[in-house]
Amino acid sequence: MQSGLNSEVFDKFARIAGAINNSEVENWKKQGGKVMGYFCSFIPEEIFIAAGLLPFRMRATGSCGTDQADVYFSSNNCSFPRHCFNQALVGKYDFLDGLVVGTSCDNLRRIYDNWKISSVKTSFLYMMDRARTSGEPMVEYTLSELRKLKAGMEAHFKVTITDEGLWQAIRLTNATRRLQQQLYELRKADSPPITGAETVPIMVSSFSMPKEKYNAGLTTLLGELRGVAGSKAYRARIMIVGTGQDDTFLCDLVENQGGLVVMDQACWGARTMCRTIAETGADPLQAIARHHTLDVPFCAKMNAAFQKRAQFVLDMIKAYRVSGVIIEHFVSCEPWGVDSVMLKQRLDEAKVPYLQLVRDYIPSQIGQMTTRVGAFLEMIGGVL
């Protein structure tokens, strides 16, 4: 379905999301700036911003294969880290001055080990741990890890990361989150002015450019969107839950067949922005640690957090009047694979229809997936 969106700002966001390197990164580098890549949403951009670096969240956009990465990984490993690493091996991430890999899942954390022995030369390569269970004692552990990261960055980049710098960075990223929350609010409408496929590049680009410019752009875009008449010509309102979503593949699959993606609980979407970090307190790093250990809806890798994750999904189903959920994850993703077993039970109890899709980063069997999504939409929304 079309929403009538015609925006230069959106086009810019789409260009940035549609490639790894982009004009903003190039400008940043031309001005002598440094770029810090990072894996996973729990790695705090705020520390990088306070250090004067441009945070860049790693993705595999544009990857065509994993031939080089598979010398290090196995085909048994999740395709997302393999594609990301492959992009690094073919030079797409040569602009990085540093990389922080979070100890998230078994597949992804091995990027650190393999990057270290590979031909990719990144001067600052760091692995950061964090608590894998939610709870107050865990905040202290995550905080200790943040302090180590800060110290490591200060030593390497010869900068001082001050508390005031961190608070400023928190206020900046919170401003991003609040703007994105406004964007998502628009999707609650009967006729949202924006589709899921359009939301994805807006979200992805936020991790690939300076936040100040992004916030200014999104503010403009929100103003434009408020004047857009959306369409009610969709047959079902869909929420996507799971991994991935640094590209529009899944949203396109839904929306090209008459569905509308109105909400998500995904790594590049709502999970990253639905809660803000506290802007007051004694220690900004503690505020960040609390946010990532206690507040966010969490990915499936976080233990003792399923109930919270599931409740978030159910709350959003209500708030966004979702008619069906698509649970998606990559092949070889054990956390989401098993989480989906539990989530399906909860959705059954709540009588919410769902479809589970398991795919590779570059999906094969697109025809089959298209048919399954089409049948699902017909089942829950009828014929268009």
Partner 1 sequence: MNGAKNDASVDAYTQLKTDFAAITAKSFQARLNEFVENKTPIIACTDDFFPELFTAMELPFYFSVRQGLEGAFHTGKGPEAVDGYSELGGSSSLCSLQKAAAYLLVKGKLPKPAAIVMTSTSCDAQTAVNELMSNYKPWAAVPRVSVDASFEKDEASMAYLGRQWMDCIPFIEKATGRKFDLDRLKEVCEESNKQCGLMFDFQELRRAVPSPVRADWGFIAYMTGRWAACGRPEATEWLQRLYDVTAQRVKDGLGIEGVKEKIRYAWFDILPCWSDKLFPRLEQAFGAVNLMDLYGYNAPWPVIDTSSLESIFTSFAKRFLIGNPMTRQIFSLSSVYGNDAVHIARNFKCDAMIMPSHVGHKDGAASHRVVKDMFRQIGVPFLVLGCDVFDERYMSPDVVFDKISTFFETAGLTGR
- Write the interaction track for partner 1 spanning residues 271-310; mark x where CB under 8 A is met and - where it is not: -----------------------------xx-xx-xx---
Please tell me whether residue 377 binds partner 1 under the rule CB under 8 A: no
Candidate list 6, 31, 74, 119; residue touching partner 1; CB under 8 A:
74
Min separation Cβ 92 and partner 1, Å: 20
Please tell me whether residue 91 binds partner 1 under the rule CB under 8 A: no
Candidate list 5, 159, 331, 350; residue touching partner 1; CB under 8 A:
331
Min separation Cβ 14 and partner 1, Å: 32
Q: Give the footprint of partner 1 on residues 245-264 (CB under 8 A).
A: none
SS3 letters for the chain? CCCCCCCHHHHHHHHHHCCCCCHHHHHHHHCCCCEEEEECCCCCHHHHHHCCCEEEECCCCCCCCCCCHHHCCCCCCCHHHHHHHHHHHCCCCCCCCEEEEECCCHHHHHHHHHHHHCCCCCCEEEEECCCCECCHHHHHHHHHHHHHHHHHHHHHHCCCCCHHHHHHHHHHHHHHHHHHHHHHHHCCCCCCCCCHHHHHHHHHHCCCCCHHHHHHHHHHHHHHHCCCCCCCCCCEEEEEEECCCCCCHHHHHHHCCCEEEEEEEECCCHHHHCCCCCCCCCCHHHHHHHHHHHHCCCCCCCECCHHHHHHHHHHHHHHCCCCEEEEEEECCCHHHHHHHHHHHHHHHHCCCCEEEEEECCCCCCHHHHHHHHHHHHHHHHCCC
Which range touches partner 1 (CB under 8 A), out of 87-95, 124-132, 161-169, 185-193?
124-132
Candidate list 233, 338, 375, 384; residue touching partner 1; CB under 8 A:
338
Closer Cβ to partner 1, 92 or 329, answer by number = 329
What is the contact surface with partner 1 in residues (CB under 8 A)?
71-74, 76-78, 81, 103, 105-107, 109-110, 112-114, 117, 127, 129, 131-133, 135, 137-138, 140-141, 144-145, 300-301, 303-304, 306-307, 329, 331-342, 344-345, 356, 358
